[in-house]
Structure 1
Amino acid sequence: MSESALSEMDDHPIHQIAEVIRHVGTSDRNFYDRYYFNCHGPDGDPWLIIGLGVYPNLGVADCFAVVRHGDDHIVVRSSRALGADRNDLTIGPFRVEILEGLRTLRVSLSPGHGDLSFDLTFDADGPAVLEPRHFQRQLERVTFDTMRFVQTGRWSGSLTVDGRESEVEPDGWRGNRDRSWGVRPVGEAEPPGRRAASTDATSFFWIYSVMRFADYAIVVLVQELRTGERIMGDARLVWNDSRRDPEWLGRVEHDIEFVPGGREPAGATLRFIKPGGVTTSVRCESQVANYIGFGTGYGLEQDWRHGMWQGDEKTQGMRNDVSELDPTMRMFCPIDYYATFAYDDGETVDTGEGLFEFAVIGPHDQYGFTEYLDVAPDR
């Protein structure tokens, strides 16, 4: 083993396999390790989303920030060759710093690379909570095998959009962050082969919502096939007080109200049903959409995908008018909404805010989508 394969992380007793830290326990090209953050002011505008990913078997690290501000969709993205030092979370003008694990992190984007820059610190409201493992197999091949934890919190620092700097104060600026790792499709697209013949394999119904209330958060996750068969389904109430255990809310049922002429949700009602029929519910109202598929690497552009080799280092800035984003392409990637919520536990109704991430790609029987380009009818 070459000495150059070592990094300072190898001096810590954290190894999981008989390899150095920089070598993961699988040769699957799709292994990744990722940070996600969102940040919003009191009314959801600006609505900022940041992601940083490491792809050990592709030899790449990349990062993006995308902000929705009025009708502006502004992106800065950067990629570099992945080195040996896994502590180095600097990618071009981006940097993530872990100030206190599972508690406080700092994210920054230096000025001069587009119409966006920031220096922000995230402080958690409560504990980070593991979600159920995400596992999916298609034609014998494991396509998803991931773990993720999530955490709500408040932000402080500064955010500059279009030359206008905002002082970010923790009383008014909120959001959530997550960490995920494992196997999911990344990098240059692979030939679909036989999978292309199966609409069940390519249909994707997805709800991922992180709702922040005064004393707790609710985390909901649903993935379905076109028939409604569940790949994943979970709803948890997570107390800010770490001495209290998270509570399972029940089986999730959904009722989405679509904007006519597309597949974007105007609102949704989620019901949580426990054995015996005890039901609670949350009303979700979409407020501000961040079209994270455009420019950030989630797959809409074939020249920039998460984990794709862009050379030793590359940084780009771009912007679009939201009103001019291709409405058909909007249907082929999840959209992250700043949303408001009303949770009814049968005795009281609490109001909150946060993330409502949604996609229905391909056919889905419950909502009458039989073809990929079907849209919701006029009401």
Structure 2
Amino acid sequence: MLTKGDDFPLHQTPEPVAYAGTDRNFYDRYFFNGYAPDGSGFFAVALGIYPHLNVADAHFSCIRNGIQYNLHASRELCMERMDLVVGPISIEVIEPLKCLRVRVNGEGLAAELTFTGRAFPIEEPRFTHRIGPRTFMDYTRMTQNGHYSGWIEVDGARTDLAEGTVGTRDRSWGVRPVGASDAQPHGHEVVPAFFWQWTPVNLPDRSLFFHINADRHGAPWNTRAVIVPDGAGQSQDGIEGFLETPSATLQSPMQPGTRWPAGGVLTVQRPEGPLTLTFEPLQRFQMRGLGYTSPKWGHGLYHGPLVIEREDLVLAEIDPMAPTLDNLHVQIISRVSTSDGEIGIGGFEQLVIGPYAPWGLTEYRDAG
């Protein structure tokens, strides 16, 4: 089947662009978040394409006065991967790798948000993780901090984005668990566990990115820290102030009775000496608003030709250890201070499922 993508040099296999290899869990995804300099006015957007599942879905979230407003949409893909529209949510690529626009209009929620990158995106190390013989993850992700302009409207009340609104966007593609869960067990005595932390930080003149995936014993299987000065281009090696290193550690206590971070201290080793960043929590965002770990709106689940739903969450009433596990995954917007004397702001994303020995977690869902 020929589609719009076949008129562009995008092919990765001998087949038309509509076909993405043979793994049913292949996906292609956009993510955005943004916040004012004081941590208020948070919003986030996601849009995913699942070629083998014939599904596209999208989500928009914003937080106002302690309520997280979520808009979910899902449609049949019909094999056309170049139409970045899912019901009331759309993405326009204005200038690839630099400027994109998001539009939202449905169920009392509306927005027009323009993202402009601060520097060329970074490419993270390829995420490849197997459980026994089975590929659990195999994907590439690029990440970029940037500035936002635009507005958001909730039930008729429109608010322009505050001056200095910043955030992060990423693009990832490859293989992840998507759609209906695989009921086939991984094998005898295989203990499910997942540990993830991610801290994209916007500093006055540069961006810092850190992430870690670790096994249940605390051994990292994918980790790196990157510092990127504003305006850095594609050839970043050799640019003054650019740093890429796996030598970074994050000390992060949990909020009592949860698996949410209570702040933390990140230490990045540099040739001139360590850089430390201290995270002070300002606001919590539940990632289920974008479909992550959501029982109903999980990524790639089939809902029909087109289904749209609004979901309002009172953040103070969220059960952090709900049996469905859909509240474990959070982003904590944080004020960040550095040992270089900078004050910035960023996200602290965390998802910990199953045992994790360094924190004394021994069960699938025991709290810290």
Same fold (TM over 0.5): yes
- What letter corresponds to residue 30 of structure 1 in structure 2? N
Asked if the contact 2:294/2:326 (under 8 Å) is kept, the reply is no
2:290 corresponds to 1:296:
yes
2:164 to 172, 175, 178: 172
2:135 corresponds to 1:135:
no
Secondary structure in structure 2 of the residue aligned to 1:265: coil
Q: Shift in Å at residue 367 of structure 1?
A: 1.4
1:218 to 202, 205, 208: 208
2:181 corresponds to 1:189:
yes
**Residues 257, 17 of structure 1: alpha-carbon distance in 2 compared, 3 angstrom cutoff:** same
Distance 1:157 1:137 in 2: 41
Asked if the contact 2:293/2:329 (under 8 Å) is kept, the reply is no
Residue of structure 2 equivalent to 1:21: 17
What percentage of residue pairs aligned between the two structures are identical? 32
1:271 to 249, 267, 272: 267
1:89 to 84, 87, 93: 84
Residue of structure 2 equivalent to 1:77: 72
Where in structure 1 do 4 or more consecutive aligned residues deviate above 4 Å?
none
Residue of structure 2 equivalent to 1:106: 101
Distance 1:292 1:232 in 2: 21
36-45 or 141-150, which deviates more: 36-45
Residue of structure 2 equivalent to 1:311: 304
Residue of structure 1 equivalent to 2:224: 234
Q: 1:39-58 counterparts in 2 under 5 A?
A: 39-58=34-53
- What letter corresponds to residue 44 of structure 1 in structure 2? G
**Residues 163, 197 of structure 1: alpha-carbon distance in 2 compared, 3 angstrom cutoff:** farther
2:256 to 255, 260, 273: 260
Residue of structure 1 equivalent to 2:197: 207
Residue of structure 2 equivalent to 1:62: 57
Distance 1:12 1:263 in 2: 45
Q: Shift in Å at residue 43 of structure 1?
A: 2.1
Q: Shift in Å at residue 83 of structure 1?
A: 2.5
2:357 corresponds to 1:365:
yes
TM-score (norm 2): 0.92
Distance 2:229 2:134 in 1: 37
2:251 corresponds to 1:283:
no
**Residues 250, 33 of structure 1: alpha-carbon distance in 2 compared, 3 angstrom cutoff:** closer
Distance 2:133 2:335 in 1: 40
Distance 2:188 2:292 in 1: 19
Deviations 1:299-319 (A, max 9, x none): 231x33211111011111111
Q: Shift in Å at residue 282 of structure 1?
A: 1.2
Residue of structure 1 equivalent to 2:115: 122
- What letter corresponds to residue 105 of structure 1 in structure 2? L
Distance 1:333 1:135 in 2: 23
Structure 1: unaligned runs, 5 residues or longer = none
59-68 or 318-327, which deviates more: 318-327
TM-score (norm 1): 0.90
Q: Shift in Å at residue 185 of structure 1?
A: 0.2
Secondary structure in structure 2 of the residue aligned to 1:20: coil
Asked if the contact 1:138/1:195 (under 8 Å) is kept, the reply is no
Deviations 1:77-112 (A, max 9, x none): 1001102432211110111000111111010111x4
Aligned pairs, how many? 360
- What letter corresponds to residue 293 of structure 2 in structure 1? G
Distance 1:310 1:196 in 2: 33
Residue of structure 2 equivalent to 1:151: 144
Structure 2: unaligned runs, 5 residues or longer = none
- What letter corresponds to residue 238 of structure 1 in structure 2? V
Secondary structure in structure 1 of the residue aligned to 2:253: strand
Q: Shift in Å at residue 196 of structure 1?
A: 7.8
**Residues 42, 163 of structure 1: alpha-carbon distance in 2 compared, 3 angstrom cutoff:** farther
